[in-house]
């Protein structure tokens, strides 16, 4: 990186759900080596990631903030970015940023978030924000009654799975000679990321915003279908006018980036005496975390992978996506394969 590159450290939420009353950066900005402390007030665009939701998704596509402004939605949410001459000076200043919060109920999973008395995590959007049924053939109830064998399994759980690249996320941003914002990171979907962060930063992909692969930096997994670190370094460079560099610690990698979603599953199969399955019923909840981006896509992918309609002549499936807050874990990523767990139970 060129001389004068600012090193970034994040001020992150240490609670899972809260209203932000105030953010005081005055003491941090007077710490040695600190150039600026960036907050949501410095972001010129919507300050939101575009989740590219399906039209049938009740969730707002712009529900994930780049830097939290009104609320904290999950443990580890980014509230401010300290920009300093060294990582050590930036980290020391992180401890001096004062954030006053009003703690709200933290729902630890889909069952808690769907309780009748659960408050809406995103006001105006129900916690159950996407449903995708699959129906094929006649009503399954009479077939279950006459089936020779019926197997029912309730409360099956496919757990949360972290993606574990050897190297945590790393990114840099700078203005090129033409005044365009250039962001370098490691990813599997840079053009997609540019589309998702552009409005939030107040930029237009392909016009004044460009994302490129960091040369020589290692691989990623499905979590990188969503942008993670890119908007943060972009916001810092836009606020300071200087090149900026951010390297996640592995703790941040675990708490900030997406995971494979947990599933809560009920299954019921009816078969004849020859072992042929004649009907299937299934009901599941996808525990996708507090942000809706790609949750609808995930729900449909999971349906396609775990319920092959060509195998079951008659079936009824209801899949639901929930938005609970999580302690110590981030929102889930866009891809998961429940088929890894369900066929053995079948």
Residue with tokens 């109830």: 141
Structural domain including 279 reads: 110-159+260-345
* Angle ∠(135,140,143) on CA atoms, nearest 5: 150
Sequence-ordered list of residues with C-beta below 8 angstroms from that of 323, at least 6 positions apart, any chain = 59, 113, 121, 122, 125, 127, 128, 129, 288, 289, 290, 291, 292, 295
Q: What are phi and psi of 253, to 5 degrees?
A: -60, -40
- Residue 336: what pLDDT? 53
- Residue 318: what pLDDT? 56
In 3D space, the residue among 84, 77, 129, 139 whose CA is nearest the CA of residue 104 turns out to be: 77
- Residue 167: what pLDDT? 87
- Residues 184 and 311 placed together within one structural domain of the fold: no
- Residues 122 and 191 placed together within one structural domain of the fold: no
Residue 215 domain-assigned (yes or no): yes
Residue 138 domain-assigned (yes or no): yes
Residue 231 domain-assigned (yes or no): yes
| Final residue of a structural domain among 211, 232, 256 | 256
Spatial separation of the C-alpha atoms in residues 193 and 228, rounded to whole Å: 9
Residue 145 domain-assigned (yes or no): yes
In 3D space, the residue among 32, 25, 165 whose CA is nearest the CA of residue 87 turns out to be: 32
Q: What is the pTM of this model?
A: 0.89
- Residues 77 and 19 placed together within one structural domain of the fold: yes
- Residues 230 and 275 placed together within one structural domain of the fold: no
Residue 1 domain-assigned (yes or no): no
- Residue 340: what pLDDT? 45
Residue 114 domain-assigned (yes or no): yes
CB 106 within 8 A of CB 33: no
CB 187 within 8 A of CB 197: no
Q: Which residues pair with 318 in a beta bridge?
A: 133, 283
CB 270 within 8 A of CB 311: no
- Residue 166: what pLDDT? 86
| Final residue of a structural domain among 218, 236, 256 | 256
- Residues 13 and 89 placed together within one structural domain of the fold: yes
Residue 32 domain-assigned (yes or no): yes
pLDDT in tens, the chain (346 residues): 788 999 999 999 999 999 999 999 999 999 999 999 999 999 999 999 999 999 988 888 999 999 999 999 999 999 999 999 999 999 999 999 999 999 999 988 888 888 889 999 999 998 888 888 877 788 888 989 999 999 999 988 888 888 888 889 999 999 999 999 999 998 888 999 999 999 999 999 999 999 998 776 666 788 888 999 999 999 999 999 999 999 999 999 988 888 888 888 888 889 999 988 888 888 888 888 889 888 888 888 777 776 655 566 666 665 554 444 433 344 566 555 444 445 444 4
Q: What CATH code is carried by the domain that includes residue 32?
A: 3.90.1170.50
- Residue 64: what pLDDT? 95
- Residues 286 and 341 placed together within one structural domain of the fold: yes
> How many domains are contained in the chain?
2
- Residues 145 and 87 placed together within one structural domain of the fold: no
Residue 266 domain-assigned (yes or no): yes
- Residues 142 and 17 placed together within one structural domain of the fold: no
- Residues 114 and 33 placed together within one structural domain of the fold: no
CB 21 within 8 A of CB 95: no
- Residues 282 and 340 placed together within one structural domain of the fold: yes
| Final residue of a structural domain among 256, 284, 307 | 256
| Distances from the Cα of 114 to the Cα of 56, 119, 126, angstroms | 19, 9, 9
- Residue 308: what pLDDT? 59
Q: What CATH code is carried by the domain that includes residue 133?
A: 3.30.365.10
- Residues 132 and 250 placed together within one structural domain of the fold: no
- Residues 119 and 90 placed together within one structural domain of the fold: no
Query: Looking at the chain, which runs of residues are DSSP E strands?
Result: 6-12, 18-24, 34-38, 48-49, 64-65, 71-72, 78-84, 98-103, 128-136, 149-158, 161-162, 170-175, 181-185, 209-213, 244-247, 259-260, 263-271, 277-287, 315-322
């Amino acid at each position: 990186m060129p001389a004068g590159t600012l090193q970034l450290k994040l001020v992150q939420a240490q609670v899972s759900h809260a209203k932000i009353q105030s953010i005081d950066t005055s003491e941090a900005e007077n710490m040695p080596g600190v150039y600026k402390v960036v907050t949501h007030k410095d972001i010129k665009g919507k300050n939101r990631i575009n989740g590219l939701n399906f039209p049938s998704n009740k969730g707002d596509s712009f529900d994930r903030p780049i830097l939290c402004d009104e609320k904290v939605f999950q443990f580890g949410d980014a509230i401010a970015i300290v920009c300093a001459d060294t990582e050590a000076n930036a980290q020391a200043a992180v401890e001096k940023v004062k954030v006053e919060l009003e703690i709200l109920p933290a729902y630890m999973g889909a069952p808690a978030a769907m309780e009748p008395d659960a408050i809406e995590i995103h006001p105006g959007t129900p916690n159950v924000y996407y449903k995708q049924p699959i129906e094929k053939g006649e009503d399954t109830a009479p077939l279950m009654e006459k089936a020779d064998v019926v197997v029912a399994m309730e409360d099956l759980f496919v757990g949360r799975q972290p993606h574990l690249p050897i190297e945590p996320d790393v990114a840099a941003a700078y203005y090129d000679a033409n005044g365009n914002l250039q962001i370098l990171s490691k990813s599997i979907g840079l053009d997609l990321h540019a589309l998702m962060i552009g409005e939030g930063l107040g930029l237009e992909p392909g016009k004044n915003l460009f994302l490129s692969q960091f040369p020589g930096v290692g691989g990623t997994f499905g979590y990188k279908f969503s942008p993670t670190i890119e908007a943060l370094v972009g916001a810092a460079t836009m606020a300071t006018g200087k090149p900026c560099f951010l390297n996640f610690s592995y703790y941040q990698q675990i708490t900030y980036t997406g995971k494979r979603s947990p599933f809560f599953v009920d299954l019921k199969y009816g078969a004849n005496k020859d072992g042929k399955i004649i009907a299937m019923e299934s009901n599941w909840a996808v525990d996708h975390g507090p942000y809706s981006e790609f949750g609808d896509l995930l729900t449909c992918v999971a349906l396609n992978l775990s319920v092959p309609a060509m195998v079951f002549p008659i079936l009824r499936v209801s899949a639901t996506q929930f938005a609970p807050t999580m302690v110590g874990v981030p929102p889930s990523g866009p891809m998961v394969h429940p088929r890894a767990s369900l066929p053995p139970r079948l």
